[in-house]
Chain A
Amino acid sequence: MKPLIDLRNVSKTYWLGETEVKAVSGISLPIYRQEYLSILGASGSGKSTLMYLIGLLEIPSRGKISFNGRDVSKLADAKLSHLRNGSIGFVFQQFNLINKFTVLENVILPTRYSKTRLKFNPKNKARQLLKDFGILDRQDFFPNKISGGQQQRVAIARALIMNPAVLLADEPTGNLDSKTGPEILRLIESLRKKFKTTIIMVTHEKEVANRADKKIYIKDGRLVKKYL
């Protein structure tokens, strides 16, 4: 089976003034369709950079990233954004909803950046997702008027509206209480079957990471243990 996303010896370096910071160095990692992968690491380990590389928000300094067999490491911004729009869904620790938009407007926002003809009605689909997640009655609320768990559900709905192949979740429970956190985790995990989505979970919590089929541990920008 061919990997959906294939990282080959990928490095990412930043320049902080005169000093070169190696956020990710020499990581090779194949990610397969409908896989549930977790990336475990302490803060500053480079796990977020790795996630952004996988999520096509960053291009590697060295090495190669393939998406669906196509080399995407040197794609121009427009094509990369396009691919991100149609194939990647992000869920963040801070929810990252746009506060001046209502819940419904937040969910349909990605459809506005689609360069291809949509095969669905954005509003209908958004409402269906909100209904599935039990928050349809919040569709006209602004994000700061609903609870954290509800906000994260909205963020997940937004991540799913374009039917992405991959859902990238960056510490999705980090801002939630002990009751809501597991609910959100279960919701994310359920998407794999329901939407045939590949799930990549970035976390610093072992218990969260352990729920995945496959986990990698990253330290100082390098893979420490593979496929535990």
Chain B
Amino acid sequence: MKPDTLSDIFTTAIASFKRNKIRTVLTSLGITIGVMSVVLLIGLGVGLKNYLSDQFESLGSNLVIVFPGNVFSDEGGLGGGFGPGFAGGATFDEKDYLNLKKIPQADYVVPQFFRSLPVTANGESQLGYVEGVTADAFKILNLSQAYGQAFEATDVNRKTKVAVLGFAIAEKLFSSPEKAVGKTIITGNQRLKVIGVNAKKGDREMDNIVLLPYTTTFGRLNPNKTFFTIFFGVNDEANIASVINQAEKILAKRYDEDSFSVTEQTEILSTVNQVFGIVNAILVAIGSISLLVGGIGIMNIMYATVTERTKEVGIRRAIGATRQDILSQFLSESVVLSVLGGLIGLALASLIILVIRQFFPAAINLLSVVIAFSVSTAIGVFFGVFPAKRAANLPPIEAIRYE
């Protein structure tokens, strides 16, 4: 067939779908659902990964983090699990902090106590990420204050009952963030005076943070006086390895080697990427099953179509269609059918992602679009080629006599 009749082929394909609307829709539905789930899963995976990467990147560079448990094994894979108090994990205390503080290459050391708790003020209650830290935390987290000010080292020494709020939580509790300064909040039975509100970060966790001196948490909030993690800001990138080494030696004196990990931020990032690579691959594999099923649906319908149109094939052959012409005709129909389904799936997935974006970091990227297109085309070709071959190889005379 001449190249300029390529559009003819597609027009014919679309015309034949118009005559079989319900069948076309049902056949494409398999591909629609398949592409939709794959795009959606990729979107969620990529979104979550980006979110976590952003979280770690916002911490700043030259960062070394002490975690409980053997979270990051030597191979860089995920060893234990996250979260405080899991099996075999060390619980750090003030003594560790003070020991680690002695490492000369560490510019600052920040212990972190963390709980997510309801925070009340003015009769309003909101969930806040309550963190007990030192004043250096503001440097590590790159936090500046839109109103009021941060607490200082002296507040930590004096166990002052003060707090610095994230922008969003201040807004929610006090209707406008500047009104928060000077007011009192209560969290975990602890009264705290708000002395500052951070500038908006555009990050849910950071904007709902409640920062207070770690010493202040040693009471009702943190009766065991423990920390979940300890952060180091290292003065020079070249010293990171040495700081990790020293920290490990210091901690090994008190804890079993497998009960804590000392890692740098880039290592965490690469682990996060690795883990999400695996998770994404599994999700895509699951989504691909529905694509496979959709493809089989297309194949089934195409076989039925070929049988139904046997006589038409015979007529076309009689008036000069080659086997190749017939093959192209049926193949293009299955490809159009599949790509149509794929595009609808992509559109639906985009819509869903737009909606859930408000609650969950999901993203639609070029990769999803390329995958939706190429996979649905490939399915159309793969599952269409056998029925199309059958049509092309029908003996013309038998085909033309077929009733």
Residues on A facing B (Cβ under 8 Å): 48-49, 52, 55, 57-58, 77-78, 81-82, 84-86, 90, 92, 96-98, 100, 109-110, 112-115, 158, 162
Contact = CB atoms under 8 A, between A and B. Distances in A.
Interface in B310-365: 311-312, 314-325
7 contacts: A57-B397, A58-B396, A81-B321, A81-B322, A90-B319, A113-B1, A113-B321
B315 A57 contact: no
Nearest to A90: B318
Query: Considering residues A48, A78, A84, A112, which has the most beta carbons from chain B within 10 angstroms of its beta carbon?
Result: A112
Contacts of B5: 112
A93 to B, nearest CB: 10
Contact of A86 (B15, B16, B318, B320): B320
A65 to B, nearest CB: 16
A82 B397 contact: no
Contacts of B16: 100
Contact of A115 (B2, B311, B312, B316): B2
A55 B322 contact: no
Query: Considering residues B19, B315, B319, B323, which has the most beta carbons from chain A within 10 angstroms of its beta carbon?
Result: B319
Nearest to B400: A96
A110 B320 contact: yes
Interface in B1-41: 1-2, 5, 8, 15-16, 19
A111 to B, nearest CB: 9
A114 B15 CA distance: 22
B3 to A, nearest CB: 11
Contacts of A96: 311, 314-315, 318, 400
Contact of B312 (A52, A55, A77, A98): A98
A78 B322 contact: yes
A82 B400 CA distance: 18
Nearest to A84: B320
Contacts of B2: 114-115
Contacts of A84: 318-320
A57 B318 contact: yes
Interface residues of B, number: 24
Contacts of B397: 48-49, 52, 57-58
Contacts of A58: 396-397
Interface of B: 1-2, 5, 8, 15-16, 19, 311-312, 314-325, 396-397, 400
A112 B324 contact: no
Query: Considering residues B5, B323, B396, which has the most beta carbons from chain A within 10 angstroms of its beta carbon?
Result: B396
Chain B interface SS verdict (over half): helix
B190 to A, nearest CB: 78
Given A57-B396, A58-B397, A77 B316 contact: no
A109 B311 CA distance: 15
A97 B312 CA distance: 8
Contacts of B396: 52, 57-58
Contacts of A85: 319-321
A55 B400 CA distance: 14
Contacts of B316: 98, 109, 113
Given A98-B312, A100-B15, A81 B317 contact: yes
A112 B317 contact: no
A97 B5 CA distance: 21
B324 A113 contact: no
A108 to B, nearest CB: 11
B317 A57 contact: yes
A222 B315 CA distance: 27
Contacts of A82: 320, 322
Contact of B320 (A49, A92, A113): A113
A92 B399 CA distance: 13
Given A58-B396, A86-B320, A112-B8, 9 more contacts: A49-B397, A78-B323, A81-B325, A84-B318, A84-B320, A98-B312, A100-B15, A100-B16, A113-B325
B255 to A, nearest CB: 78
Nearest to B18: A100
Nearest to B311: A96
Instruction: In the A-B complex, list the 4 residue pairs whose CB atoms are closest, starting with the nearest.
Output: A85-B320, A81-B322, A113-B320, A110-B319
A112 B324 CA distance: 13
Contacts of B311: 96
